[in-house]
Structure 1
């Protein structure tokens, strides 16, 4: 069964880019946070893509573990953007939920493949 995770993480990265385009003009604090969320939010998909071409099970687990770390970090930054009222919570709720779901999916994949 083919996973839709590479496409899902790509779509997530696209949403992050669009969010950061909005944040870019919102001031210095927003700009600094934007760089953090842009880096971590787009890295999830790149690690998943690398994992798809892994050379071994160990390499696969390593790449997906990196994707998981980036997903958790992105979830953190999104929560901070909402808590600090830099972006309205209602606008961030869908993307924050997707980040949470990616964390859950990647956690399951990592645990399943470590056994």
Structure 2
């Protein structure tokens, strides 16, 4: 997958997260979760763009670790939404699958660059 393809994929993921948030029923608890997942889910795409501008492997690693953290946090909030049954299970599971795939891509990228630079 090219950098441009991943930029588009993470942007689409952000848009899908926004769509999901707009469907969550409004309760005191769901408002908090909605805010959290909107922040982490849209951060994946925004921070991946920053990764693409990294000037060194060290900077790439630092920025990619932020992307990884945000995508993993988004997985957590999706699991909460699923378990609370706030939305259709198929909708949430499809986003969970995408978040999981993106997380795997970010982990793989980090491993590759860390191996190249021998950084732990």
Shorter-chain TM band: over 0.9
Structure 2 contact 23–87 (Cα < 8 Å) conserved? no
Structure 2 contact 75–100 (Cα < 8 Å) conserved? yes
Matched, 1:14 2:15: yes
Runs (5+) with no aligned partner, structure 1:
none
Single out whichever of 8-17 and 88-97 deviates more from structure 2: 88-97
What is the distance in 2 between the residues matched to 1:2 and 1:42?
Answer: 20
How far the C-alpha of 1:85 sits from its partner, in A, is 1.2
What is the distance in 2 between the residues matched to 1:83 and 1:22?
Answer: 16
How far the C-alpha of 1:28 sits from its partner, in A, is 1.4
**Which aligned segments of 4 or more residues in structure 1 are displaced greater than 4 angstroms?**
none
Q: Where does residue 86 of structure 2 map in the other structure?
A: 86
What is the distance in 2 between the residues matched to 1:21 and 1:94?
Answer: 16
How far the C-alpha of 1:88 sits from its partner, in A, is 2.6
For these two proteins, the number of residue pairs brought into alignment is 114
Alignment partner of 2:49: what SS? helix
